[in-house]
A and B are shown apart, each in its own frame.
Chain A
Amino acid sequence: MSNMEKYTKAFCQAFEIDEETAKKLKFQDIPAWDSVGHMGLVAQLEEAFDIMLEPDDIVDLSSFEKGQEILAKYDITF
């Protein structure tokens, strides 16, 4: 599975949404992406890429797009 596939799947599983929705998603766009859902997403990403996100990065993770920038810091390229 490519990094993009893994990344998208993490969003889909965290919020129970389809890929189309995932790719445009921003924090609090849907009820599932609340503060609890946010930690669910963090846990899914950490599991998928075997990383541990820094607290600042968790706070900055505000959209599907932003997440890719953040993961680049962990040597994950898309």
Chain B
Amino acid sequence: MIDYSPMNIKIWSRLGSCGAFGQAALFLPEINDKVVMLTADLCTFSGLDRFKLKYPDYLFNFGIAEQNMVGVAGGFAKEGFVPFATTYATFASMRCADQIKVNMGYMNLPIKLVGLTAGLSVGVLGATHMSLEDVAVMRSVPNVVILSPADCTATIKATIAAAQIDAPVYLRLSGTMNNPIVYKEDFDFEIGKAITLKEGKDVAIIAIGSMVYNSLKAAEILEQNGVSAKVVDMHTIKPLDKEAIQDVLKNKLIVTVEEHSIVGGLGSAVAEELALLKQRPPHLIIGVNGAYPHAASYPYLLDQAGLTPEKIASKIENTYKEIC
């Protein structure tokens, strides 16, 4: 039904993750008539203008009142609907944390909370709009499935998968317009099953969201410098793919890369999995560390945080040479 043609993949990439989400939303009522789309004054920003035109009865705008939106989603979910609720990732996860705890955690209601512009992509608006804590918050709430698609095609896949699973889901959308393409053609996206994008014997890089592409590029640089690197797209942060973690134990260094705080995110999730193993490789956690950055452009912030392919590669290479 969805055409994963090269032109569509290019268009989705051009639209960015929010726009791609909106394109995926157009398919949802056909897949499940119980889907409803809730937003907090971000209909256009969530790429939902076409959805609103095509399915006006499926769209509910609650204004700039995110906590109410999540509570309303709880009411819809209890009555058998599949409510998506969209806002900036930082407001979705942090302003509504108590509603998330009670509705998605305690009551296990299958709300699909969509966090837009996670990470640093709207960092030009300042720290209020950066979302560097959302995975940490959401990961600590029981029952919540956390998805972090690597590119816009994966965003389409993850949105549809979120609608089909009977569980609360946090869909973390990262990157910006003209999002780099990781998946050039149709592929299998299964919740909880990581995807190995590149094999390598020395280092294993596990990445999420926007950092999957940068990790692939970093792996190319590492290869040129004689370090063989495997790259894994851990698109489901929770439940974590334990088999994929077992698979990287034979590498000499495990690296996690995320556009998120180094506290509580992917790095922590992997470290928790590794903690009790007697024999295991060391684990380098790459992410945003320290105080909130000052408002600046996305490329500048990624560079400052050491999250460009070059800086990721150099950090890995230095660590690898130092301890392996």
Cross-chain contact of B10 among A31, A34, A36, A46 (Cβ < 8 A): A46
Bound CA span A42–B49, Å: 19
Q: Which residues of B contact A31 (CB under 8 A)?
A: 53
C-alpha spacing A77/B19, complex, angstroms: 32
Contacts of B94 in A (CB 8 A): none
- Counting chain B CB atoms within 10 Å of each CB, the highest count among A34, A35, A36, A47 belongs to A36
B296 contacts the other chain (CB 8 A): no
Given the known interface contacts A31-B53, A42-B14, A43-B14, the answer about A36 and B47 at a Cβ–Cβ threshold of 8 Å is: yes
Counting chain B residues whose Cβ lies within 8 A of the other chain, the interface size class is: 10 to 19
* A26 CA / B42 CA spacing, docked (Å): 26
A36 adjacent to B7 (CB under 8 Å) = no
How far apart are A50's CB and chain B's nearest CB, in angstroms? 12
CB 8 Å contact bits of A38-71 with B (1 = contact, 0 = none):
0110111011000000000000000000000000
B23 touches A36 (CB 8 A): yes
Among the interface residues A35, A40, A43, which one has the most CB atoms of the partner chain B within 10 A?
A43
Which residues of A have CB within 8 Å of B222?
none
Check if B7 sits within 8 Å of A34, measured CB to CB. no
**Contact call B15/A36, Cβ cutoff below 8 A:** yes
Interface pair A40/B50, CB less than 8 Å apart:
no
Interface residues of B in 23-57 (CB under 8 A from A): 23, 44, 47, 49-50, 53
Chain B, residue nearest A35 (CB): B49
B47 (CB) vs chain A CBs: closest residue = A36
Whether B49 lies near A39 (C-beta < 8 A) is no
**Residue B22, interface by CB 8 Å:** yes
B177–chain A nearest beta-carbon distance, Å: 8
Do A47 and B49 touch across chains, with their CB atoms under 8 A apart? no
Kindly state the interface size class of chain A when it binds its partner.
10 to 19
Q: How far is the CB of B51 from chain A (nearest CB, A)?
A: 10
- B7 and A39 contacting across the interface, CB-CB below 8 Å: no
A47 and B22 form a contact (CB under 8 A): no
Contact of A39 with B14 at beta-carbon distance under 8 Å, contacts A44-B7, A47-B7 already known: yes
**A36 and B19 in contact (CB under 8 A), knowing A43-B7, A43-B11, A47-B7?**
yes
What is the minimal beta-carbon distance from B299 to any residue of chain A, in angstroms?
12
Contact A36-B22, Cβ < 8 Å, known A43-B7, A43-B14:
yes
CA distance A35 to B15 in the complex (A): 9
Contacts of A44 in B (CB 8 A): 7
Return chain A residues, CB-CB under 8 Å to B11: 39-40, 43
* B15 contact set on A, CB distance < 8 A: 36, 39
One of A34, A40, A43 near B49 (C-beta < 8 A): A34
**Chain A nearest CB, measured from B53 CB (Å):** 7
With CB as the reference atom, state the residue of chain B lying closest to A39.
B14
* Bound Cα distance from A43 to B44, whole angstroms: 21
A67 to chain B, nearest CB (A): 16
Interface residues of A in 13-44 (CB under 8 A from B): 31, 34-36, 39-40, 42-44
**A42: shortest Cβ distance to chain B, in Å?**
6
Q: How far is the CB of B178 from chain A (nearest CB, A)?
A: 8
Output the nearest chain A residue to B23 by Cβ-Cβ distance: A36
* CA A39 to CA B82, docked complex, whole Å: 29
With a CB–CB cut-off of 8 A, which chain A residues contact B7? 43-44, 47
State which residues 45-90 of B face A: CB under 8 Å. 47, 49-50, 53
A-B contact pairs, 5 of them (CB 8 A): A35-B19, A36-B22, A36-B50, A43-B14, A47-B7
Known: A35-B19, A39-B19. 18 other contacts (CB 8 A): A34-B50, A35-B44, A35-B49, A36-B15, A36-B22, A36-B23, A36-B47, A36-B50, A39-B11, A39-B14, A39-B177, A40-B14, A43-B10, A43-B11, A43-B14, A44-B7, A46-B10, A47-B10
Q: Which 5 A-B residue pairs are closest in the complex by CB-CB distance?
A: A39-B14, A43-B10, A43-B11, A39-B15, A40-B11
